[in-house]
Amino acid sequence: MARGHHRNLGQPMRREQLRQRQADRNVPTTAVRLLSMIVSSVLPLDLTEDKNFLSFVNELNSSELIPPMSLIHLLLHEAYNKKKEELRHTLSSTEDVVLTCELWSSGPGDSFLSVACHLVDRFGKLKSFMLKTTSLFGDESAANIQTQLSAIMEAWSLTGKVHSVVRAGMPQLKDVKTKWMHMPCFADTLNGVCKDLMQDAELQGVLRKCQNIVQFFKYDPEAERELQDSRVCRDLPQYQLVLYTGHCLLAWLDVLQQLVPQDNLMATVLTKRGKMELILNEDETQRIQKLVSALKPLKEVTSAMDSKGFQTISVMLPLLMKLMGTLQEESKRKNVIAQQLLHKCRRQFGDVNKNYLAPFTFLDPRFKDQLGDKNRKLATQKIIEELAAGAPSSTRRIQAVLDQYMAYKPTAHTSNPLAWWRNTGKQRFGELSRLALKKLCVVSTVVPLERAFSSAGERFNDRRSSIEAENLNKILFLHGNSC
């Protein structure tokens, strides 16, 4: 059933009746497992009434009774309230909180705001929790978004604790003055750079041709078999042709890396089949090779981040410095696509040698020595200003602490900077620890990278767009807080 449509469930069953029904039919375990599947896979509740699903279950076990939708709805409500109280207790003991907000749409004029929070627990672990998904009823103005954020903060007793909000998109909030600091999502910004590059008509034409080539071989088993035999005869690796029809530029890298090495072999097969229009010419081949060379450093950057979770914002600047450095080297080799990517990155992220992210990276003991003079000077200046606010006389003392911190040996790249500041950093550098934990609590992305740069994100959007409005918030809340 599509979201937004209503069904007549008749007279709702009382809770006592439902519990009795559970006991009589012995279905509690089935119901709980079914709800778990619905939550983990982000599915609509009316799955329980889908004829194909019921038929499938019946084929597996004709005696199995699928719990009614009304029972699943009750269990969802109870699970939601239980998890909500647990989270409320967790949040009551924290001092500094960061929010992330994602604006998404399930259809024209049907926009939603999903808000999550992030904090550092007493063991120095970064914890992330979904708070709420709410409809904006078509009003995506900065004023309405701020109103919704304030309401969510108040509902969770976080007013005064939130110091930063990381947002995916929402340019309408960029220059709005708020009590909290606004930060752009790293993944969303980088993805925007890729989407901007995808607007190039010539590039679109080449990618469309590559798509047609792969489709030809996928849909013609005999041609694919002939291509495979050619690889065997020439003792070449058994490359697999990857079919992708989405718009994520980074996802195209896998397609192109498998296609380019067997370009000549495919051309031979295509010639025999009379498919001359699918053969890549020299200019197209060179453009693909340049695109692969430009996308590889981008892939390395995203691969260096935790794809399934969230990471502190302090990792962004070192990764950007590495990305732009590699793109600059590619640009020197006359790689036009790398030049375009570099230009777009500079426009979106600014000068990496004197960047607003410097204070965050400076306070990460893993990367503090990788900043360069300009970033280091900017970072210490900002940190002193923040710590010495209202007490200028303490500037010299704070500078001394920062000097001691800089002299301390950097920690391993695999270490946890938050745990380090909870223990070693707190003992050695006192008041700097509180600021570091506050800054490093800011996450780099609004959504895990596996959703930002892959088809997994497209599938997730499709699934949540199919959920009934009544259950949307509860299912996404339990899905986001299932770990």
Span 95-107, pLDDT tens digits: 899 999 998 887 6
The confidence score (pLDDT) of residue 299 equals 87
Same domain flag for 320 and 414: yes
Same domain flag for 29 and 67: yes
| Residue 16 or 371, more confident | 371
Same domain flag for 27 and 61: yes
Confidence of residue 200 (pLDDT cuts 50, 70, 90): confident
Burial grade of 69 (CB within 10 A; 0-12, 13-18, 19 or more): middle
- Using the predicted structure, report yes or no on whether residue 364 has a pLDDT greater than 60: yes
Confidence of residue 27 (pLDDT cuts 50, 70, 90): very low
> Domain for residue 377, yes or no?
yes
Same domain flag for 277 and 344: no
- Using the predicted structure, report yes or no on whether residue 475 has a pLDDT greater than 50: yes
- Using the predicted structure, report yes or no on whether residue 12 has a pLDDT greater than 60: no
> Domain for residue 280, yes or no?
yes
> Domain for residue 232, yes or no?
yes
Same domain flag for 401 and 287: no
Q: In 3-state terms, what secondary structure has residue 47?
A: helix
Same domain flag for 255 and 228: yes
Picking from 7-21, 108-122, 168-182, which range would have the lowest pLDDT averaged per residue? 7-21
Q: Are strands 162-168 and 97-107 parallel, antiparallel or unpaired?
A: parallel
Mean pLDDT throughout 254-259? 89
Q: In 3-state terms, what secondary structure has residue 121?
A: coil
- Using the predicted structure, report yes or no on whether residue 20 has a pLDDT greater than 50: no
Query: In percent, how much of the chain has pLDDT > 70?
Result: 89
- Using the predicted structure, report yes or no on whether residue 439 has a pLDDT greater than 80: yes
- The region that residue 104 occupies, defined by phi over 0 for left and psi between -120 and 50 for alpha, beta otherwise, is beta
Mean pLDDT throughout 438-444? 93
Confidence of residue 13 (pLDDT cuts 50, 70, 90): very low
Mean pLDDT of the chain: 86
Same domain flag for 338 and 260: no
- Using the predicted structure, report yes or no on whether residue 33 has a pLDDT greater than 60: yes
Residue 181: strand pairing partners: 164
The confidence score (pLDDT) of residue 143 equals 92
**Closest C-alpha among 359, 357, 354, 360 to residue 372:** 354
> Domain for residue 273, yes or no?
yes
The confidence score (pLDDT) of residue 449 equals 60
Q: How far apart are CA 139 and CA 105, in angstroms?
A: 12
The confidence score (pLDDT) of residue 151 equals 95
Q: Can you tell me which residue has the tokens 């695999």?
A: 414
> Domain for residue 97, yes or no?
no
Same domain flag for 264 and 371: no
- Using the predicted structure, report yes or no on whether residue 1 has a pLDDT greater than 50: no
Contact 172, 145 (CB under 8 A): yes
Contact 46, 441 (CB under 8 A): no
Confidence of residue 4 (pLDDT cuts 50, 70, 90): very low
Picking from 146-150, 212-216, 286-290, 389-393, which range would have the lowest pLDDT averaged per residue? 389-393
Q: How far apart are CA 29 and CA 272, in angstroms?
A: 59
Same domain flag for 266 and 335: no
Count: domains in the chain: 3
Domain boundary among 81, 100, 119: 81
Domain boundary among 303, 328, 361: 303
User: Rounded to two decimals, what is the model's pTM?
Assistant: 0.82
- Using the predicted structure, report yes or no on whether residue 393 has a pLDDT greater than 80: no
Same domain flag for 358 and 275: no
The confidence score (pLDDT) of residue 17 equals 47
> Domain for residue 29, yes or no?
yes
The confidence score (pLDDT) of residue 50 equals 86
Residue 38, domain extent: 15-81
DSSP one-letter code for 421? I
Confidence of residue 455 (pLDDT cuts 50, 70, 90): low
Same domain flag for 294 and 321: no
Quick count: other Cβ atoms within 10 Å of Cβ 110?
A: 16
Same domain flag for 323 and 298: no
Picking from 293-302, 366-375, 455-464, which range would have the lowest pLDDT averaged per residue? 455-464
pLDDT, one tens digit per residue, over 406-437 is: 999 999 988 999 999 999 999 999 889 999 99
Q: How far apart are CA 76 and CA 286, in angstroms?
A: 54
Q: Can you tell me which residue has the tokens 């078999």?
A: 225
Q: How far apart are CA 422 and CA 271, in angstroms?
A: 66
Most confident of 20-24, 30-34, 276-280: 276-280
Domain boundary among 303, 331, 356: 303
DSSP one-letter code for 409? P
- Using the predicted structure, report yes or no on whether residue 23 has a pLDDT greater than 50: no
The confidence score (pLDDT) of residue 5 equals 39
> Domain for residue 463, yes or no?
no
The confidence score (pLDDT) of residue 24 equals 46
Mean pLDDT throughout 248-262? 86
The confidence score (pLDDT) of residue 240 equals 82
> Domain for residue 368, yes or no?
yes
Quick count: other Cβ atoms within 10 Å of Cβ 425?
A: 24
Radius of gyration of the chain (CA): 27
The confidence score (pLDDT) of residue 308 equals 56
The confidence score (pLDDT) of residue 388 equals 87
pLDDT, one tens digit per residue, over 54-97 is: 888 888 887 777 888 888 899 999 999 999 999 999 999 998 99
